[in-house]
Structure 1
Amino acid sequence: MLGSYRSKNSIRTHGAVNHRHLLYECWASWGVWYKYQPLDLVRRYFGEKIGLYFAWLGWYTGMLFPAAFIGLFVFLYGVTTLDHCQVSKEVCQATDIIMCPVCDKYCPFMRLSDSCVYAKVTHLFDNGATVFFAVFMAVWATVFLEFWKRRRAVIAYDWDLIDWEEEEEEIRPQFEAKYSKKERMNPISGKPEPYQAFADKCSRLIVSASGIFFMICVVIAAVFGIVIYRVVTVSTFAAFKWALIRNNSQVATTGTAVCINFCIIMLLNV
């Protein structure tokens, strides 16, 4: 399996030098992106766990095609019905409606028709077909999961992985040493097994539940923090000394909020 993944000779005439070369020519090269994955070669080189991962990734990518097609249809529906959208029409024609300024200082009064472009762009992604797309994605998620179970069963049978456990949870040595001395007879199997007292189990459950509740509160606080940030920052950007940011305060607020939201998500995923 060792050696370079490249070769001066063509694989069609001289064959593969090693498994790395074979995988590069048949799988890892950009020129074969449209071909099916050689899962048997991936399994032979990386092992069953990595092979199953790429099998799932390929299946997931393939199942995204119908979802992408429906999403494109929803977008095109928004484009074709843009001129018939009553909401955007009313916003664009409301030239006599004056809106309050977004900040106390340096912010002028605005006409409702100034949001015409924003209303039209919103209709492209949020129209009547969006409800159908939401229902479709809910059904798609269930269908994807069920069909992947069947696909995984076929792969497990072909690779002789029927009794193979993907992840085996190992017992911590401290936990095993503490409770291995306390045993009781299992009424079903009739064999002695480690016993954990109910009070000890409840205390551990309380600590775990408290940690989960704390993380939920952190997520909710982050969401509210982003909302408050957008409310406060839009007026700050509207009064900014640079004309570029002042004239595009909504875009600047949304862009910075998206970046902060991305950083929070990545931080919580660590």
Structure 2
Amino acid sequence: YSAIRLGVEDEDKFFSTQERQSIVFHLLYSIRILENETLNGIKFKIDQSLIQRGLEKKLISQVIPLHNKEQLNHLRETWVWPKNIFKAQPIVDIRQYFGVKIALYFCWLSFYTRALCLPALYGTYIWYYSGQSQELDDKLFIIHSLLNIIWATGFLIFWRRRQAELAYEWNTLDMEQLEDTRATYKGQLRRSPVTNKYAPYYPAWKRLLFRLLVTMPMLIFNLVLVSFCILIIFRFQAWIDRQLKLGHLPSLMSLTQLLPKILLALVTTVFDDVYKRVCRWLTDKENYREQRTHDNQMIAKMFACACVNSYLSVFYIAFFTHTHIRLSDQLITIFVIKQFWDHVK
């Protein structure tokens, strides 16, 4: 109890910057419409959130907090500048300004970077002695795999301990965050039996029906389409290789071997953007109440699409054709095309 009251006399220390922003954010979203009204052709119903309705109808573009330049300059001096690369991160200042989630991420990043020093050491040792004989390489490969398994297991165990220490230190142990309704959540207004206030309600059976009749067929169709395109490009690559081997194409035309690789990189890059738009549209139409559920569904769709679009061709080249030169050429081509596409769009 005394820890909770600590600093209550000083308004600058009792709440952190992130906590103040969260309080103001919650108060803004708690503003409710008192009576039914129509403004500029937009209907505002009783007990709706004014901010959520404004965001939904594009009356409000975005709700963002303003930065504190003095604190940002302090973080820049003690954290961002390259001169601080060998110094410990100011986690306390990061938590005070950006909040627990951001601070925990940078704690994990620092912990993970330090933990990578161990596999880097024995990996360098194994790399130095590899290549002398096939028997030695096989033994080193097994040893390297076992060490990686031990390292990964130990990393997870020690990170859980470190995470528990930080949660206890920051008073967030076993704390669950209650999420507000998403701004774009739609549904029929009805009085909630819990809060006795009007709240949007969207039946679960409609969401399930949309997922079965729209989401799943669209995702399957898109995955089949990109798989078909990748298969056609592989057949085109095989035809070019065969023609060059038979001498039906001039030697200068060997540059045409790059054409299927470029086509494959373009297909995967373009479909990647298409999938993002499709997955975002499908997730919005499924209409989830909480942001966390919305994000998880979005990630699941994107992961399923990425497994086929981004990794199918690479796995096929690596494990079925067993041509490492072709694999490296394809990866380089994909990297260059993606960089070019990101700059063009």
TM-score normalised by L of structure 2: 0.42
- Residue 205 of structure 1 corresponds to 211
- Residue 28 of structure 2 corresponds to none
CA distance 1:183–1:132, shift in 2 (3 Å): farther
Question: Does 1:61 pair with 2:72?
Answer: no
- The RMSD of aligned alpha carbons is 4.8
1:48 corresponds to which of 100, 106, 110: 100
1:225-240 matches, within 5 Å, as: 231=238, 240=251
Query: SS state of the match for residue 241, structure 1?
Result: helix
How far apart are 1:26 and its partner, in Å?
Answer: 3.2
Inter-partner Cα distance in structure 2 for 1:261 and 1:57: 27
- Residue 262 of structure 1 corresponds to 335
- Residue 101 of structure 1 corresponds to none
Inter-partner Cα distance in structure 2 for 1:211 and 1:143: 42
CA distance 1:36–1:197, shift in 2 (3 Å): closer
CA distance 1:22–1:77, shift in 2 (3 Å): same
- Residue 123 of structure 2 corresponds to 71
Inter-partner Cα distance in structure 1 for 2:68 and 2:85: 24
How far apart are 1:45 and its partner, in Å?
Answer: 3.2
Query: SS state of the match for residue 130, structure 2?
Result: helix
- Residue 203 of structure 2 corresponds to 196
Inter-partner Cα distance in structure 2 for 1:133 and 1:37: 32
- Residue 252 of structure 2 corresponds to 241
How far apart are 1:30 and its partner, in Å?
Answer: 2.1
1:148 corresponds to which of 151, 156, 159: 159
Percent of paired sites with the same residue: 24
CA contact (8 A) 2:115 2:155 kept: yes
Deviations 1:22-49 (A, max 9, x none): 4344322323322321211222333333
Larger radius of gyration: 1
Inter-partner Cα distance in structure 1 for 2:229 and 2:142: 27
Flag structure 2 segments of 5+ consecutive residues without an equivalent.
1-66, 195-199, 258-322
Question: Does 1:23 pair with 2:85?
Answer: no
Q: What is the aligned length?
A: 199
CA distance 1:158–1:136, shift in 2 (3 Å): same
Q: Which amino acid aligns with 2:203?
A: Q
CA contact (8 A) 2:119 2:151 kept: yes
Flag structure 1 segments of 5+ consecutive residues without an equivalent.
4-17, 87-122, 186-192
CA distance 1:60–1:142, shift in 2 (3 Å): same
CA distance 1:203–1:27, shift in 2 (3 Å): same
How far apart are 1:58 and its partner, in Å?
Answer: 0.8
Query: SS state of the match for residue 114, structure 2?
Result: helix
Inter-partner Cα distance in structure 1 for 2:244 and 2:84: 48
CA distance 1:203–1:128, shift in 2 (3 Å): farther
Q: Which amino acid aligns with 1:76?
A: Y
Inter-partner Cα distance in structure 1 for 2:93 and 2:218: 43
Inter-partner Cα distance in structure 2 for 1:170 and 1:183: 13
- Residue 85 of structure 1 corresponds to 134
1:69-218 matches, within 5 Å, as: 69-79=121-131, 82=132, 84-85=133-134, 127-162=138-173, 163=175, 165=177, 168=179, 170-171=181-182, 173-175=184-186, 177-178=187-188, 181=190, 196=203, 198=205, 200-206=206-212, 207-213=214-220, 217=224
Q: Which amino acid aligns with 2:111?
A: W
CA contact (8 A) 2:190 2:201 kept: yes
Deviations 1:86-105 (A, max 9, x none): 7xxxxxxxxxxxxxxxxxxx
CA distance 1:259–1:154, shift in 2 (3 Å): same
